[in-house]
Amino acid sequence: MNIKLRKVIGDLQINPGRMLLVIIALIIGLWGVGSILVSYTILSHDLNENFARTNPLHAAITSKDFNRLDLTALRNRYEIEKAEFRDFATLRIETHSDEWIPLWLFGVEDFNNFNLARIFDKKGDSRPMAPTDGAMLIERDGLRFSDLKAGSTSRIRSGGRVVDVSVAGISFDPAQSPGTQDHLIYAYVNKKTYSEITGEAANQRLIIRFKNVKSKKEVQAAADGLVHYFKSLGIAADTVKIPKFMEHPHQWQLNTLLFMEGSIGFLAFFLGAVLVSQLMAAILARQIRQIGILKAIGASRYQVFQIYLAMVLFLGVISGAIAIPLAIKFGYGYAYFVADILNFEVLTTSLPHQIYLFLIAASLLLPVLLSLPAILKGTRIAVREALGDYGIQQEAGVNKSQITDKLPLPRNFVLAFKNTMRRKKRLVITVAAMALGVAIFNTGFNVQQSLKDLLGDVNNSMKHDVQVVLINQMPKEEALKYFSGIDNISRIETWNGGRGGMQSMVVSTDAGVGIIALPYDSKLLAFRSTKGRWLSGANEPEIAMNQEAAELYNHPAIGTYHTLSVRGNQFKAKLVGIVEELEKPKIYMDKGQYDTFANPNHYINSLMFVAKDKSYEKVLALKKDIERAIEPTNLQVLYVMMQAERVKIIYDHLKIIFVTIVFFALLVLVVSAIGMASAMSINIMERTREIGVLRAIGATPKIIYSLFVAEGMTVSVISIFLGLLLSSPLSIIASKFFGNLMLEVELHFSFSKIGFAITVIATLIFGWLASRIPAQRAIKVSTREALTYE
């Protein structure tokens, strides 16, 4: 073997502990970069691919006149890529005994020939088996939170009827939001079964895919043209719905998760990089005299550089051999994890060659780049200087710390504090890395608290306990009569419209923006106005919007007038305020004014129940009583939902984000702590002879140990202080960012007391561990060995 290579291997074996630390640091850095790359490659491709495989629709048009439509002729039109009938009804299905949740029922034109909005079998491999008459397929995500399974029989409420439908099999529909998160079931039946369940004729909803459209705007234009064509055929379109253009409904969640993984991966890389540079600097520092010898016996600077470059490349190869498979495994693992949450299949079975090449190049280049400053510095040193280096610098002119001298502190502590200040550059790097870890860890908790507070606001903003929303509007007295005998009702307020996207389909402007018409002075709402004020019951028609609706209307100014069209009735209303809420776009107006313009019969479709006893169990019992009251009636109910359930649905959307934030933040703290341990270890190594002197003048091993632990704890305390200071602005920025990214709501900064306590305790523990281990090693060296140490 080449002698220089033998030297490299020999040097690596001298201090296996430190080499292991370098390798771990390199692995962390490579893992950080590699796993982001792998999971990003998989997820950004696969969610879109899953979605694209369904051949998503561009628009859905409903009409009762489609019996006049020649579908073949329509399909032959130049602008039409695909068209088929896919009926849709919002019903309710019993998931557990007496528990009913919304059901989206799709009537499929031909299970053997999907043109659009394809669904797949449970595994996503192929077309699903067509259900027989009277049976349905259930989307697989629904199995997670219901008693439904293949072969079972379910009860579906349709209007005033309850229909038993058997579950023929399980399907997979990657184009839908995950049922677990939106808390609803998707089911697929043939046309005959659809008509039997709903009591409606089939073929009243057409889904279309246009040719040559590249945006929602172009789809809108094409859809408008089609509606015009239908009109010419005597077909009146009832509704035209255009979803987000070629975007999965939960793309936002994927973006958030990818962003979080990316941030943390980058941080891991950054901290790993800091660690590697520090460690390599320490390794080179130990080699300075040898570098002097090598130069003295004839080695040029380049030859010396080659030796240490070889060392670094060797470390890179070892780290890469471990980190690359780890990154790929973690990247895939994270991808599967996200795919499970968002209900899509990981389709990427092998990564592009470029990924592997990049990872290999990174494993070789990264350590070289990170070590280059230390190697260049070390190999640049002149022979005389190198031969005079004993690794332990006596700092001339060390300033006396007058403050610590005057404080009534134990001398050991004062010594520990002064020792901490000796290597200022290393101290700054160690503290900075640790403080960053502390700041991010604490920020994780604060962001989590912000999200929890938001959920609290959501909970507190609505004071009702159970909401019943009807599909059709009806007289108030008729609706109320069914609930007169129920216990635990304090009062019932009647509105038009309600929460969520589904309810926007029932009461909305003709453009599809949901309307909620309620008494202007209702005590059941307690929104925070971000601009203007709430409704006042003035004579002039007034509206308030939530921030989502304000975005749709291009952020209108308070006081501006807007023309709303509801079932062809147009009226102008003044915008008096913008409110903040976690909700689809909604416009609020006084019910009296709404009735004047759009609801002359004063019909209602939303009943807001307020319970006397607001405990969870009692409200749940109330909900079940309401369900039982509805069952024998012919009321067509969209859904019955507890406010607590609504909050839970939002929480379920965010739960994964909560956990991921704190997990990744903890990872960052751990990496920072490893950095601190490494710095402590180097400090102690450099002062081995000094330790020998202390032992020689009477310091017991216990004193030496406590000295070093005190030094480590000093660094921890400084890091905690700085990190917590940093975490405040960081938390504000992170809260705002996550709020916008995830929820399109501005999250306000919240301070997490528990997070603060955990951060302080965890950092102190890590700091103690980081100093304890090297300190224990230091006291094991005998006095004689320490004094002769070079």
Residues that bind other proteins (CB under 8 A): 3-4, 6-7, 9-11, 13-14, 289-290, 293-303, 382-384, 387
Least CB distance to other proteins at residue 9 (A): 8
Distances (CA, A) of 548 to 271, 529, 777: 39, 13, 60
Task: Find the shortest distance in angstroms from Cβ 721 to other proteins.
Answer: 36
Residue 304 or 715 having the CB closest to other proteins:
304
Output 331 or 692, the one with its CB closest to other proteins.
692
- Please, which residue, 1 or 403, has the CB nearer to other proteins? 1
CB of 774 to other proteins, least distance (A): 23
Q: What are phi and psi of 110, to 5 degrees?
A: -155, 105
Tokens of 371: 């070590």
Q: Would you say 140 or 286 has its CB closer to other proteins? A: 286
Rounded CA separation 526/457 (Å): 9
Closer CB to other proteins, 250 or 295, in the complex: 295
Report H helices in 84-202: 179-182, 191-198
Distances (CA, A) of 107 to 100, 110, 113, 689: 21, 9, 13, 83
Q: 472 or 782: whose CB is closer to other proteins?
A: 782
In this complex, which beta carbon is closest to other proteins, that of residue 357 or of residue 383? 383
Q: How many separate helices (H) and strands (E) can be counted in the chain?
A: 24, 20
Query: What is the helix (H) or strand (E) element at residue 589, kind and residue range?
Result: strand 586-590
Q: Which residues pair with 164 in a beta bridge?
A: 155
Closest separation in Å from C-beta 297 to other proteins: 5
Q: How far is the CB of 301 from other proteins (least distance, A)?
A: 6
Q: Which is nearer to other proteins, 10 or 559 (CB)?
A: 10
Closest to other proteins by CB, 301 or 614: 301
Task: State the residue for tokens 């995950």.
Answer: 178
What is the smallest separation between the CB atom of 698 and other proteins, expressed in angstroms?
29
Cβ neighbours around 97 below 10 Å, total: 7
> CB-wise, 304 or 709, nearer to other proteins?
304
Give the nearest distance from C-beta 14 to other proteins in angstroms.
7
Please count the other Cβ atoms lying within 10 Å of the Cβ belonging to residue 615: 10
Q: How far is the CB of 378 from other proteins (least distance, A)?
A: 14
Q: b/e per residue, 65-81, with b = 16+ CB within 10 A?
A: ebeebeeeebeeeeebb
CB atoms within 10 A of CB 458: 18
Token code pair at residue 166 = 């058997």
CB of 384 to other proteins, least distance (A): 5
Give the shortest CB-393-to-other proteins separation in angstroms: 16
Cβ proximity to other proteins, 317 vs 382, nearer residue: 382
Q: Which of 734, 759, 663, 673 is nearest to 330 (CA)?
A: 663
DSSP code per residue over 5-39? HHHHHHHHHH-HHHHHHHHHHHHHHHHHHHHHHHH
CB of 370 to other proteins, least distance (A): 24
Q: Distances in Å between the alpha carbon of 687 and those of 394, 704, 719, 774?
A: 10, 11, 23, 12
∠776-283-704 over CA atoms, to 5°?
20
Q: Could you tell me how many residues make up the chain? A: 790
Q: Is 91 left (phi over 0), alpha (psi -120 to 50) or beta?
A: beta
